[in-house]
Amino acid sequence: MSGMQAVWPSGTECIAKYNFHGTAEQDLPFSKGDVLTIVAVTKDPNWYKAKNKVGREGIIPANYVQKREGVKAGIKLSLMPWFHGKITREQAERLLYPPETGLFLVRESTNYPGDYTLCVSCEGKVEHYRIIYSSSKLSIDEEVYFENLMQLVEHYTTDADGLCTRLIKPKVMEGTVAAQDEFSRSGWALNMKDLKLLQIIGKGEFGDVMLGDYRGNKVAVKCIKNDATAQAFLAEASVMTQLRHSNLVQLLGVIVEEKSGLYIVTEYMAKGSLVDYLRSRGRSVLGADCLLKFSLDVCEAMEYLEANNFVHRDLAARNVLVSEDNIAKVSDFGLTKEASSTQDTGKLPVKWTAPEALREKKFSTKSDVWSFGILLWEIYSFGRVPYPRIPLKDVVPRVEKGYKMDAPDGCPAVVYDVMKKCWTLDPGHRPSFHQLREQLVHIKEKELYL
């Protein structure tokens, strides 16, 4: 260990860089890629006491593991750092100067909209190859076809196959970082060899969600195929590396496979989404204590996001998952952003989104509080769709005039009061998640929900 190495506090997560078999009884053996949690520092700064995923504790060598860090906020991760978008032929040639055989980039074609151009520096000049896009496949020579640009670049990296040279060095677009490099640097890259995909458990617009086995543990895997969608999911994965809470679905790691796309591996939540769980079990199974517990689980996750300046933007019972032991955890960080940013409102779920977020794109923790009120209503109505019997186009005008949904049947008055506070039209007068959690804890301790 260098003299500069900071001591890792208890709770720090590390990922193993090598196999360690252990020589003494007190050692904790591990395999490359295992995730370990530091328990304590030992007298010798080169060794830590740590525990593995099944809770076994022992001593580990510090130089065999790498501390996991959040992916740096503010950097643009790219699966295709060599892709420069709409630039001209001349701009591409300037970027590939000084000449270096095998230096390359891909741009959108200026002459053939919808096609791409591969620009390669070769023996002092730049060659431009048109990449033809037809019937959802890409090709340069109309002999070999590729699903996406990543596959195409991968192919010509290993073999020139008719080009003037094989592709050797990508010209990275300024301001972007290769996703694989960043996930490896921060300790989140997993190995495809360790993952078995078992069965499809869900479908999204982006691809399938599969049940997988990662080194003997059940995991959920989002398998994302297409270049453009995969790019959007990188942002979700990098947000998840920065968040750690027992009521947030935990990211286990990311696999970037050039041939087949992106895999986001998270903990497996055996009982599925909260909305389906509520609908399928209903009143006869779920008692008042269970409903309040789910409400508190979600509130604790949201209080954590609030404290860390993250806005979820899509809080709803469909985006909360239930674990084998009935813990509710917030998931789906696709829209989650650092608190300051705005976003296109085209795809927003109208019934869950606060009026100011729909109208002025003003997202904040307080707009999440509004959504939390709707989620409470979903919990206490056993998964009904909010604003029953009101046509979608009428929801916003009525809400802006002060309309609030009635309490669901059997909902305790004290819980309905919490919902109504969340639906205050002025965001400044809505409670914080910290205050909401205190109110829910008070309701629980005084048994006011019965």
> In this predicted structure, what is the pLDDT of residue 258?
67
Query: How far is residue 111 from each of residues 136, 149, 393, measured CA to CA in Å?
Result: 19, 19, 43
Sign of CA dihedral 415, 416, 420, 422: positive
Query: CA-based angle 166:169:172, to the nearest 5?
Result: 135
Residue range(s) of every CATH 1.10.510.10 domain in the chain: 273-446
| b/e burial code for range 315-335 (CB count within 10 A of at least 16 → b) | bbbbbbbbbeeeebbbbbbbb
Return the C-alpha torsion angle 85, 89, 90, 94, nearest 10.
60
Place of tokens 């060794």: 47
Q: Determine phi and psi for 266, rounding to 5 degrees.
A: -125, 170
**Residue 302: what residue type?**
M
DSSP 382-416: TSPPSSTTS-HHHHHHHHHTT--PPPPTT--HHHH
Buried b (16+ CB within 10 A) or exposed e, 75-109: eebbbbbbbbeebeeeebeebbeeeeebbbbbbbb
pLDDT at residue 3 in the model: 46
The 8-class DSSP code of residue 7 comes to P
* Per-residue pLDDT tens digits for 362-401: 899 999 999 999 999 999 999 999 999 999 999 999 999 9
For residue 450, what are the contacts with CB-CB under 8 A and spacing of at least 6? 288, 412
206 CB-near residues (< 8 Å, 6+ apart): 222, 224, 225, 226, 229, 230, 232, 233
Which of 429-446 are b and which e, b meaning 16 or more Cβ less than 10 Å from the residue's Cβ?
ebbebeebbebbeebeee
* Architecture of the 85-170 domain: 2-Layer Sandwich (3.30)
Give pLDDT, residue 341.
Answer: 46
Q: How far apart are CA 212 and CA 443, in angstroms?
A: 39
Question: What are the tokens at 140?
Answer: 């340069």
Please tell me the distance from the alpha carbon of residue 225 to that of residue 206, in angstroms, as a whole number: 7
| Per-run averaged pLDDT (10 residues), the chain, 450 residues | 69 94 95 92 93 94 94 83 94 96 95 92 96 90 90 93 96 90 92 93 84 94 80 85 93 84 92 96 94 98 95 94 97 68 63 94 94 98 97 95 96 97 98 98 90
DSSP, collapsed to helix, strand or coil, labels residue 121 as strand
pLDDT of residue 332: 83
> Which amino acid, one-letter code, is at 377?
W
The whole-angstrom separation of Cα 150 and Cα 129 is 16
Q: What is the pLDDT of residue 388?
A: 96
List active site positions. Answer: 314
**Which residues belong to CATH 2.30.30.40 in the chain?**
12-67
Asked whether the beta carbons of 107 and 95 are under 8 A apart, the reply is no
Would you say domain 12-67 falls under CATH 2.30.30.40?
yes
Note whether 19 and 30 are within 8 A (CB).
yes
CATH 3.30.200.20 residue spans of the chain: 190-267
Asked: is 273-446 a CATH 3.40.630.10 domain? The reply is no
Closest to 103 (Cα-Cα) out of 151, 153, 152, 167: 167
Q: For residue 222, say whether it is annotated as part of any ligand binding site.
A: yes
Give the pLDDT score at 340: 46
State the span(s) of the chain assigned CATH 3.30.505.10.
Answer: 85-170
The fold of 190-267 is: Phosphorylase Kinase; domain 1 (3.30.200)
Segments of 258-355 assigned E as strands: 261-267, 310-311, 320-322, 328-330, 337-338
Q: Which residue has the tokens 């530091």?
A: 38
pLDDT at 171: 96
Q: pLDDT value at position 335?
A: 66
**Residue in 98, 94, 102 with CA at minimum distance from that of residue 164:** 102
